[in-house]
Amino acid sequence: MDLEAAIDSIWECCEQGIHYPAEWKGKLSLDDAYRIQLGILQRHLDAGQRQVGWKVGLTSQAMREQQRVKEPVFAFFLEEAAQDSGTVFAFDDLIQPAFENELCLTVGTTLQGPGVTDAQARAAISGVAPSLEVPERRGEFGADIAMDIADDAQAKYFVTGAETRPVPEGLDLSLTTVEVFINGESVDRADGSAVMGNPANSVAWLANKLSEFGLVLESGMRVMSGSFTKQYAIGQGDHIESRFEPFGTVEAQFQ
């Protein structure tokens, strides 16, 4: 595998709005895919864009079994991905949008793996915000998980409500609850234990996984924990509201 050639090819396709280019389908290992994703991230950084965070996906055992992978996945967010609660999105500008209900965790202390423990990750979290991830389903997710990763694992936007900072000492994030409303109708309830047992555990996993590629989880980065609930499709005109206890509410509109 000529990784630089793959990065060049997939970067050029993305610039043209082409996702999941046929020439690479079925040809990438998971390691290749992460290195391509990180190579594309570096292209963005070289072009003057700024990274603000990461996402952790497939955090539930059921989802990993469904996609036939042994562990979660990660992807990056650039500055333009971060949106405030109440944002009104142009539906037609998105590719098959969906939403997930997550906590956005700000890392206040740089974490360098391997060997970062769940307790160390929890201690490093300096802020927590109720959040919606708004991924784009740019291909058939799960049909080729390596291509999914290379395509930044569906990442597009994340929407955050008011951040709780500092996080109260001893607060157990696994006890966080969410109630989800679509167009005013309650459609789901869940708690933080659905996310790897505790959303803070996503941060530990991410720090340790990044170390495999010579990276650290830097102070100031925001980490989308993984969803408390299943992923929901979004229709034009939908209003989404998710109420997280004890962190507050986040909402978005799609017109």
For residue 160, give the CATH number of its domain. 3.90.850.10
Give the range of the structural domain holding residue 77, as residue numbers without chain letter.
Answer: 51-141+154-254
Q: Distance of CA 231 to CAs 99, 136, 187, 191, Å? A: 6, 11, 12, 15
Evaluate whether residue 75 is within a structural domain. yes
Coil, strand, or helix at residue 24?
A: helix
8 A C-beta contact, residue 152 and residue 40? yes
Does some domain include residue 231? yes
Domain-located, residue 105: yes
pLDDT value, residue 217: 98
Helix (H, G, I), strand (E, B) or coil at 37: helix
**9 inside domain:** no
> Is residue 102 a part of any domain in this protein?
yes
**pLDDT, tens digit only, all 255 positions of the chain:** 789 999 999 999 988 888 888 888 888 999 999 999 999 999 999 999 999 999 999 998 767 776 777 889 999 999 999 999 999 999 999 999 999 999 999 999 999 999 999 999 999 999 999 999 999 999 877 778 899 999 999 999 999 999 999 999 899 999 999 999 999 999 999 999 999 999 999 999 999 999 999 999 999 999 999 999 999 999 999 999 999 999 999 999 999
Residue 18 within any structural domain of the chain: no
Note the pLDDT of residue 62: 67
Report the pLDDT value the prediction gives residue 134, as an integer from 0 to 100.
98
Does 209 map to a domain?
yes
222: helix, strand or coil: strand
* 166 cis-preceded (ω within 30 degrees of 0): yes
Inside any domain, residue 177? yes
- Cα–Cα distance for residue pair 237/255, rounded to 1 Å: 5
- Distance (Å) of CA 31 to CA 150, 212, 253: 10, 10, 37
Strands 222-224 and 51-57 come out as parallel
pLDDT at residue 144, as a whole number: 86
Dist CA 30 CA 147 (whole Å): 9
How many folded domains does the chain comprise? 1
Going from the C-alpha of 226 to that of each of 26, 138, 194, 199, 217, the distances in angstroms are 26, 19, 9, 7, 16
Q: Strands 88-89, 248-254: parallel, antiparallel or unpaired by DSSP?
A: parallel
